[in-house]
Amino acid sequence: MGRNFRRAGAAVLAALTTTALVACSSEQAPQAEENGGGGDDAATETISIGFSQVGAESGWRAANTKSIQDTLTAENGFDLKFSDAQQKQENQIQAIRSYIQQGVDVIAFSPVVETGWDAVLEEAKAASIPVILTDRAVDSEDESLYESFIGSDFVLEGEMAGDWAVEQYDGEGFKAVELQGTTGAAPMIDRQQGFADAIAGSDIEMIDSQTGNFTRTEGKQVMEGFLQKYDDIDLVFAHNDDMGLGAIEAIEAAGKVPGKDIKIITVDAVKDGMQALADGKINYIVECNPLLGPDLAEIAKKVVAGEEVQKRIVVEDQAFDQEAAKEALPDRQY
Ligand code: AHR
């Protein structure tokens, strides 16, 4: 679909809503007409992109935000409108609606949860504004509601964590607890599934699983509760580093040694997590690469130019044990 058509669609939608919005869109529409839109012209024109971020819940999220803000710059041909949803779906929906009304060229967002997006995505489609998903998926059956989804394979991350646990600890009758990410978020659902599949058939038993909402504070609180409830925890699987770091604080406060008395496996591999791994307080980390800005910029440019893009771009992740963390830390970017 050409760029002119998209802009015209956005302007029509704006005209149907409020006067202020008409003013906003009509300022942009002549520019599209002058430049002819689409094709080669689109490559030299500034692309306005509205990005709705999940929040600022973790070190991973901070690195992801930085990557997006450092890449989608004016020098790179972008006019970035960025909003932080503070982990609330209603804030994201509001931000997306505002981007539709502003008639941006592209909308990108990292959905806080998987469900409940169809209505707003249909509004974007009706306004002919392409949508790119980054980091997290939506569960929409209609794949025409978005152009591309760029992000890690979270099921694989959970499996990698579980495979390592089985390799290291199967046969020892380990009791494990799980610190889940935000309830209903794709990484929470998929990492839980991947880990459960990997340990099935081993003698590692998952005795409890609760959400710590991907934050250090809640990870610590949930772990404190687990430690009060059970005196025989051998292993923690935390869906991200921050919750694992919170768990370390709770374990130390309970007079136990993290990484020894209670083993810890996390996901992300941000600097704080990698430092704790190198220090022996975490036992294994599966990476989740947050540097999605360059891929998003490339896909956004292609979409605006009307080029074909891949529906799913899987970001590759590695994993680190304590020795590998010591080697990787000096060059770690985030
Ligand atoms: O969606 C990616 C996850 O979200 C990261 O693992 C976590 O740290 C973040 O909050």
pLDDT in tens, 277-305: 999 999 999 999 999 999 999 999 999 99
CATH fourth-level superfamily of 2-152+290-317: Response regulator (3.40.50.2300)
* Residue 268 CA from chain centroid, whole number: 11
Centre a 10 Å sphere on the Cβ of residue 48 and count the other Cβ atoms it contains: 19
Ligand 1 center–CA 127 separation, angstroms: 30
Model's pTM, two decimal places?
Answer: 0.87
Helix (H) or strand (E) holding 73: none
Q: Where are the domains of the chain?
A: 2-152+290-317, 154-287
Q: What is the mean pLDDT of residues 224-239?
A: 98
Nearest atom within ligand 1 for CA of residue 59: 8
The span from the CA of 188 to the CA of 158, in Å, is 9
Q: Do domains 2-152+290-317 and 154-287 have the same CATH topology?
A: yes
pLDDT of the residue at 34: 33
Q: What pLDDT is recorded for position 94?
A: 98
Which of 57, 58, 218 gets mutated to test ligand 1 (max ligand atoms within 8 A of its CB)? 58
Phi, psi of 99, rounded to the nearest 5 degrees:
-65, -35
Select the more confidently predicted residue: 134 or 14.
134
What type of residue sits at position 301? K
Predicted pLDDT of residue 33? 33
pLDDT of residue 62: 98
Q: What does the pLDDT read at residue 31?
A: 32
Q: Each residue of 18-77: pLDDT tens digit?
A: 222 222 232 233 333 333 333 344 446 899 999 999 999 999 999 999 999 999 999 999
Query: pLDDT tens digits for 84-137?
Result: 999 999 999 999 999 999 999 999 999 999 999 999 999 999 999 999 999 999
Mean pLDDT over residues 246-269, rounded?
98
**CATH 3.30.1330.10, applies to 154-287:** no
Mark out the alpha helices in the chain (DSSP H runs). Answer: 3-17, 19-35, 39-44, 59-71, 89-102, 118-126, 154-169, 186-199, 216-229, 241-253, 271-278, 293-304, 322-328
CA of 6 to the centre of ligand 1 (A): 32
* Average pLDDT of the chain to the nearest whole number: 89
pLDDT band for 12, please (50, 70, 90 cuts): very low
Nearest ligand 1 atom to the CA of 241 is 8
Provide the pLDDT confidence category of residue 333 given band limits of 50, 70 and 90. confident
Q: What is the pLDDT of residue 13?
A: 34
Question: How much is the average pLDDT of 208-232?
Answer: 98
* CB distance 92 to 111 below 8 Å: yes
Q: How far apart are CA 90 and CA 236, in angstroms?
A: 32
**Atom 3, ligand 1: residue with shortest CA distance:** 187
- Ligand 1 centre to CA of 253 (Å) is 26
Q: What is the pLDDT of residue 157?
A: 98
d(CA 33, CA 4): 7
